[in-house]
């Protein structure tokens, strides 16, 4: 550059390399899954009502979650490979269409049989979309901001779960149970709009930043067996941890209503919005609200946990700590040793720590062009476990007449997770692996 040359312009905040553009990407990625999170938990939030309306039992409610997970087993690995091949934009729109169709079938269902079909279609799209969104974050925020981006988008998505547990019973009591399920469908449609908006931003960023194009012909089934031992330990830990959390929350509204006598709503009259505020205000004293404590903790603290992981590393150690926390919490719930909100806060802390360290670990231990496939495989194996334990939870409750056996089962899963995370920590310490190191500054986006 000569003395007469003008200085090069600095990209502004609205440029794809700027903070505002990437903040918009983060918000839209979180909102892409908002509707599916709301719809997923609407069954658990409405479980006592659906058991009465459909003249069914708790095992059947567990079967609705099993159908969801069974679909995910089939779809998520294909979703990962498809996302790697056709790109996140087209894949996300396709998966969102399945979500809306499945949620609509559930809303129209006259009984459990049709609802199982709807949950199968819904699960095929919902878990596939999660694979696509994790690939989006790895594409846009590789390096220093990866764990933070996972945490923030989880917070936005899990706001859907929080509001589902704290509003669906209220909607059902005011407008009917089918209206509550149609609210979930409407939010899934709103999430599709956010998916389309993301596609517009991603297309612009792809051109401006020369992001990798989809369509790699190197993605193949043979690559699945090439992932290393650290990856498979993370996968196993994912199974044990989520099989303790999600099957528990699927029937925990019934658990707190049936065993602890907590009411389904705190509705004291007034307008609908005032009643929603009452339910949120009395979160710790209603059955759905107590269930949502886990979600609320995750929604509030996940971005901070992500920032902590980015700065200090120590991912295996944090996964071990989170797994350890689950054990006394489930024991206390089974024995009724403490007020229910106390162990639920502990489970919420675990639900913050483990995902914040676990999901961003995958792009660090697999090749970049295999990230979608790796997330798909991990989610597929996870859903094998979820399908089994969701059904077992309902079956144990119906056979024993209590939830003590289920709490013992979940505590054992926490123990297995602790052992797996300890093995991962030992391996990483011995080999100087990347999981224990702080995140690096991403070269492609300038570390901003």
What pLDDT score was predicted for residue 6?
Answer: 46
What pLDDT score was predicted for residue 13?
Answer: 54
Tens-place pLDDT, residues 178-196 = 999 999 999 999 999 999 9
| Distances, alpha carbon 161 to alpha carbons 131, 274, 330, in Å | 18, 20, 21
User: Which residues does 29 contact at the CB level (< 8 Å), separation at least 6?
Assistant: 133, 136, 137, 149, 153, 156, 198
Higher pLDDT residue, 181 or 395?
181
> Does the structure show a pLDDT above 90 at 89?
no
> Does the structure show a pLDDT above 70 at 76?
yes
> Does the structure show a pLDDT above 60 at 415?
yes
What pLDDT score was predicted for residue 5?
Answer: 47
Give the pLDDT mean for 105-115.
Answer: 90
Mean pLDDT taken over the chain: 81
- Pick the closest to residue 124 from 143, 147, 97 (CA basis): 97
Structure tokens, 181: 């399920």
> Does the structure show a pLDDT above 70 at 444?
no
Judge if pTM exceeds 0.85.
no
Tens-place pLDDT, residues 282-339 = 777 888 888 888 888 877 887 788 778 878 878 888 899 999 999 999 999 988 878 8
- Show me where the domains of the chain are located: 25-204+225-436
> Does the structure show a pLDDT above 50 at 65?
yes
State the architecture of 25-204+225-436 in CATH terms. Answer: Up-down Bundle (1.20)
What pLDDT score was predicted for residue 441?
Answer: 43
Structure tokens, 164: 């589902």
What pLDDT score was predicted for residue 439?
Answer: 64
Half-sphere exposure of residue 208: CA atoms within 13 angstroms, side-chain side: 17
What pLDDT score was predicted for residue 343?
Answer: 92
> Does the structure show a pLDDT above 70 at 351?
yes
Give the pLDDT mean for 165-187.
Answer: 90
The 10 Å CB-count burial string (b at 16+, else e) for 110-131 is eebeebbebbbbbbbbbbbbbb
């Amino acid at each position: 550059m000569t003395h007469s040359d003008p200085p090069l312009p600095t990209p502004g905040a609205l440029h794809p390399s700027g903070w505002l553009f990437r903040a918009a990407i983060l918000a839209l990625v979180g909102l892409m899954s908002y509707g599916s999170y709301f719809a997923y938990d609407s069954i658990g939030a409405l479980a006592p009502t659906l058991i009465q309306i459909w003249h069914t039992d708790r095992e059947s409610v567990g079967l609705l979650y099993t159908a969801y997970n069974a679909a995910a087993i089939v779809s998520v690995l294909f979703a990962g490979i498809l996302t790697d091949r056709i790109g996140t934009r087209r894949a996300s729109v396709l998966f969102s269409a399945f979500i809306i169709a499945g949620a609509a079938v559930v809303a129209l269902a006259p009984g459990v049989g049709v609802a199982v079909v709807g949950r199968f279609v819904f699960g095929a799209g919902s878990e596939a979309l999660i694979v696509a969104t994790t690939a989006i974050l790895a594409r846009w925020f590789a390096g220093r901001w990866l764990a933070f981006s996972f945490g923030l988008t989880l917070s936005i998505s899990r706001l859907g779960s929080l509001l589902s547990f704290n509003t669906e019973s209220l909607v059902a009591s005011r407008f009917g149970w089918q209206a509550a399920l149609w609210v979930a469908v409407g939010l899934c449609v709103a999430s599709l709009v956010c998916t389309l908006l993301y596609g517009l931003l991603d297309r612009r960023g792809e051109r401006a930043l020369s992001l990798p194009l989809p369509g790699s012909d190197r993605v193949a089934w043979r690559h699945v067996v090439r992932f290393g031992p650290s990856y498979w330990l993370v996968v196993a830990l994912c199974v044990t941890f989520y099989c303790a959390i999600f099957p528990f929350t699927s029937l925990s509204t019934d658990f707190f209503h049936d065993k602890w006598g907590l009411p389904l709503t705190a509705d004291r009259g007034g307008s609908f919005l005032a009643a929603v505020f009452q339910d949120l205000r009395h979160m710790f004293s209603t059955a759905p609200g107590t269930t949502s404590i886990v979600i609320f903790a995750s929604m509030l603290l996940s971005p901070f946990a992500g920032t902590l992981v980015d700065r200090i590393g120590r991912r295996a150690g944090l996964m071990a700590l989170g797994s350890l926390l689950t054990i006394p919490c489930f024991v206390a719930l089974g024995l009724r040793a403490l007020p229910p909100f106390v162990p639920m806060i502990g489970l919420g802390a675990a639900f913050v720590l483990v995902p914040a360290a676990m999901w961003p670990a995958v792009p660090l231990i697999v090749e970049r062009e295999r990230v979608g496939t790796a997330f798909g495989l991990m989610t597929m194996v996870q859903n094998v476990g979820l399908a089994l334990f969701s059904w077992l939870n309902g079956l144990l409750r119906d056979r024993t007449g209590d939830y003590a056996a289920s709490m013992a089962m979940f505590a054992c899963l926490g123990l297995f997770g602790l052992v797996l995370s300890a093995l991962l920590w030992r391996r990483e310490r011995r080999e100087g692996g990347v999981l224990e190191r702080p995140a690096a500054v991403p070269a492609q986006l300038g570390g901003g």
